[in-house]
């Protein structure tokens, strides 16, 4: 199976302030060996402009990330944007108006995900739900929102973009969740994590992101597991903890790691 390695546009949010910066950023992404970018609707004022800029650098638009409430409010517009960008994937990147501790609200979210997913599927595209850590709080009934979403969304309409970093730092075993989600895995967001000391006078460490292979996650096992369910697209998304504070240096280290472990 042909494999695709992408990167999240949000990593470069501070380097997209004008056309010159955008061009330079995309050139560096392409030079590092990434196949494409997963773009965020809230970082694109002009989708046609971004499509052309990425084509100029030989990069694909792998998916469009968008807040779920915007997708639900105007699913047709989300579909139009994705087709303009020539991508087959729309991703619910975050859910801002659901209280995940409330099982009734989570079930209503599942219903709405199905509604959007049906429309997106009927348009010939694929709808993915991206997890963070909020899906791993406990509801008032002691259940996990992620379990509810997995059970109550239609597999024909809703797939998942599994972020193993968020699962891991929520205290759960990412390998087990990859098994639970199984063939509904569309893409995988990959990140590593390390403990670091940022407070003087205490041995207690905080958790931060890390370049692939430099942290504590068992990434080879996670990559192998995801591939066993047919996942052929890995998207790098590191939020912080970049070497020398540079997302550009960081992405190069992580791309070298993926050349060795995702081939």
Domain at 31, CATH number: 3.20.20.150
pLDDT of residue 200: 66
pLDDT of residue 202: 75
Lowest-pLDDT choice from 1-15, 75-89, 138-152, 200-214: 200-214
Q: What is the mean pLDDT of residues 143-172?
A: 98
Q: What CA–CA distance (Å, rounded) separates 150 from 205?
A: 33
pLDDT of residue 198: 66
Q: What is the mean pLDDT of residues 36-55?
A: 95
Instruction: Tell me the pLDDT band of 164, cut-offs 50, 70 and 90.
Output: very high
**pTM here?**
0.96
pLDDT of residue 130: 99
**What is the percentage of the chain residues whose pLDDT exceeds 70?**
98
Q: How far apart are the first and last CA of the chain?
A: 10
Q: What CA–CA distance (Å, rounded) separates 65 from 51?
A: 15
Domain count, the chain: 1
pLDDT of residue 241: 85
Q: What CA–CA distance (Å, rounded) separates 253 from 189?
A: 16
* Mean pLDDT estimate for the chain: 96
Instruction: Tell me the pLDDT band of 45, cut-offs 50, 70 and 90.
Output: confident
Q: What CA–CA distance (Å, rounded) separates 41 from 103?
A: 29
Whether residue 189 is predicted with pLDDT greater than 90 in this model: the reply is: yes
Q: What is the mean pLDDT of residues 86-98?
A: 97
Q: What CA–CA distance (Å, rounded) separates 122 from 190?
A: 29
pLDDT of residue 203: 79
Instruction: Tell me the pLDDT band of 255, cut-offs 50, 70 and 90.
Output: very high
Whether residue 240 is predicted with pLDDT greater than 90 in this model: the reply is: no
Q: What is the mean pLDDT of residues 80-98?
A: 98
DSSP 3-state assignment of 80? helix
Facing residues of 11 across strands? none
pLDDT of residue 14: 96
Whether residue 218 is predicted with pLDDT greater than 90 in this model: the reply is: yes
Whether residue 152 is predicted with pLDDT greater than 80 in this model: the reply is: yes
CB 189 within 8 A of CB 130: yes
Whether residue 209 is predicted with pLDDT greater than 70 in this model: the reply is: yes
Instruction: Tell me the pLDDT band of 221, cut-offs 50, 70 and 90.
Output: very high
Domain assignment of residue 243, given as a range = 4-261
């Amino acid at each position: 199976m042909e494999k695709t390695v992408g990167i999240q546009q949000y990593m470069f949010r501070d380097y997209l302030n004008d056309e010159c910066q955008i061009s330079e950023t995309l050139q560096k992404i392409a030079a590092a060996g990434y196949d494409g970018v997963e773009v965020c609707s809230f970082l694109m004022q002009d989708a046609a402009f971004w499509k052309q800029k990425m084509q100029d650098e030989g990069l694909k638009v792998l998916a469009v990330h968008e807040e779920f409430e915007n997708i639900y409010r105007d699913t047709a517009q989300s579909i139009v944007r994705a087709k303009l960008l020539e991508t087959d994937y729309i991703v619910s990147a975050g859910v801002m108006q659901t209280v995940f501790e409330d099982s009734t609200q989570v079930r209503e979210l599942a219903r709405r995900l199905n509604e959007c997913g049906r429309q997106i599927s009927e348009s010939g595209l694929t709808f993915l739900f991206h997890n963070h850590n909020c899906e791993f709080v406990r509801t008032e009934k002691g259940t996990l929102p992620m379990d509810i979403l997995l059970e109550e969304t239609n597999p024909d309409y809703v797939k998942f973009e599994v972020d193993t970093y968020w699962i891991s730092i929520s205290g759960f075993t990412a390998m087990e969740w990859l098994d639970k989600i199984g063939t509904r895995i569309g893409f995988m967001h990959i990140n590593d994590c390390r403990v670091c000391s940022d407070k003087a006078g205490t041995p207690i460490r905080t958790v931060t992101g890390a370049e692939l292979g430099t942290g504590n996650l068992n990434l080879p096992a996670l990559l192998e597991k995801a591939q066993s369910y047919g996942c052929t697209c890995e998207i790098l998304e590191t939020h912080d903890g970049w070497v020398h504070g540079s997302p550009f240096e960081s992405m190069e280290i992580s791309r070298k790691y993926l050349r060795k472990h995702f081939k």
